Structure formats: C-alpha cells, structure tokens
Amino acid sequence: MKNEEINQEKKYDVANTVVNISDTTTPIVIPFGPASAGKTMVLLRMIRYFDSIGYKFKPDRLFRPGDDIKYQNLCDEFSNERPFADYTPGGNADIDFLLVTIRNERGRSLFQFLEAPGEHFFDGQQVKNDFPPYIENIIGQNTPKTWLVLLQLDWGNSQSVRNMYKQQILVLKAKMQPDDRIVFLFNKADNRPDLFDNSKPDMDLFIREINNQYPNLLNQFAVKGFLNKMIFGNVPTLCFSAGGFSKNSMTGKEMWICKPQDDWYCEELLKVLK
C-alpha cells in the first residue's frame, strides 16, 4: 500500500496540478506573497478566530484529484488537529496547496481560502509574467476573488528583491478580473513595535515605511482625491500578526503562541473580507 501511495504522490507535479473550483459563487480569498511571508499562518490564525466565533471550516476535497493521496491526507489533517497544533507548520514540507471553505454559524458559505506555496507567486529571484497553471486558471475564473497581498517591512535581503516583488504584484494586477479585489496586509506587524501607538499599529507610520521599502507600489492602486491627495479607495491596508513564536528547547520545534487578546487583528480583516 505504501508503494502505491508513493507512486500516486509522484504522479502529481504540484505546480501543474489541475484544480477544480466546484463552488463558483462563494468568494475566494487568496493570500499572495513569497515563501515565508506568513500566508499559512494568516490562514491558521483566521481559522482559530473563526472557530472562536462559531464559524466552521472544511477543506474542499474536490479541489484536487481524488486519487491525489497526499492531498486527501492533508485534508484529513486539516479537518482535525492541524489548525490547532501548538507548533508552526514546516512550510511546503507540510502543506502544498489546498482550498478551505469557511461557513458561518448558520452554515452559509462565506469564503474559500486558497493556501499555496509562496514560490508559486514569487520565487525571490526573478519576475515572471505567468504564474503556475492552476493559479492562472483561478485568475481567469469569474468566481469573486480577494487577493490578500502580504507586505512585510524589512523583508528580503536587498532593496532589489523588494523591487522585484513589487513588480510581481503589478503582474498580478494586470491579470486580475475587473471585479477582483485587493487587500494589502502588512504582515508580522509586531516585528516593528517602534511603529505602534498605545499597543496598536499606527497605520500612518506603517504606510510611510511601506512606501519607503516598496516605492510607488500603493500609489499604483490609488486615485487622486481632494487637493490631489492620494486615496486608496477600495484597496484597504491593514496590519496583521498571527502571534508569537518560541523554540521548544526539548523538541527544537517552533511553538506558536496565539493570544486571544490579539483577536482584533482578525476582526479587522474579517470586516474587510465580508
């Protein structure tokens, strides 16, 4: 049986897997960012918050082929302990990509969250004009989509890498459907406590720093308002933190410290997504 499972896993090239969006009316939320940007942790943190307010989550088993054993096992894990584990996932070693449906307390579908590897969006080495086929497939669908674009201050090993990521975001912008939405999420905001005021992020300071490190990016999505002041209109900008992390000296694993008092990050994001 193990040999069969290994053969089945080898059958699928993750980047070229054919995906199926069976629910074409519920909006898809797509965290967009490079590897280690925190996309998985944003999803897991939101799932914990959703659970605390009575919302339900369920992986979409029809998203990838039914004989993709690795995906079916991932769905099993996500249906049980994965979102509530006290350690951080090991990146793509643990999660390739999946679709998770979020339902409210009355069972109505609110969102579909896509979890995908960061290198499928930006590999940190060059700007690509095309994304992997399954992402291009999703981009071309008429299903309502919200692109949750992650921006992190002090990310990358050089300004040139941040500039390339900015250009990759603009590639996405050119491909988006007219009704698609973008939300800029300033992730791992707690890494910059110097930009906080009364224990909350000062958005003016964060936007100023984002403009310094990703020059002329936000303006690409803005319109001119009164006195030619740039207004971001329907493109929200939010700060977010999935929590703190501490290495367990016994196991060597990164332990995830998720504080309920920080639920307001999730509350603000939920307001924007609704």
Task: Give the CA count within 13 Å in the CB-facing half-sphere of 78.
Answer: 27
What's the pLDDT tens digit per position in 32-43? 999 889 998 999
Residue bearing the bigger pLDDT, 6 or 18: 18
Band (pLDDT 50/70/90 cuts) for residue 18 is confident
Burial (Cβ within 10 Å: 0-12, 13-18, ≥19) of residue 120: buried
Band (pLDDT 50/70/90 cuts) for residue 8 is very low
Residue 119 clears pLDDT 70, i.e. is over it: yes
- Do strands 200-201 and 56-59 pair parallel, antiparallel, or not at all (unpaired)? unpaired
- Whole-angstrom Cα distance, residue 80 to residue 199? 34
CA dihedral 261, 153, 100, 18 (to 10 degrees): -170
Match 């579908």 to its residue by tokens: 109
Residue 84 clears pLDDT 80, i.e. is over it: no
Residue 118 clears pLDDT 60, i.e. is over it: yes
Contact of 217 with 166, CB cutoff 8 Å: yes
Helix (H, G, I), strand (E, B) or coil at 183: strand
**Mean pLDDT (whole number) for 99-128:** 94
pTM of the model: 0.88
**Mean pLDDT (whole number) for 240-250:** 82
Report the candidate in 144, 78, 154 with the shortest Cα–Cα distance to residue 115: 78
Strand partners for 189: none
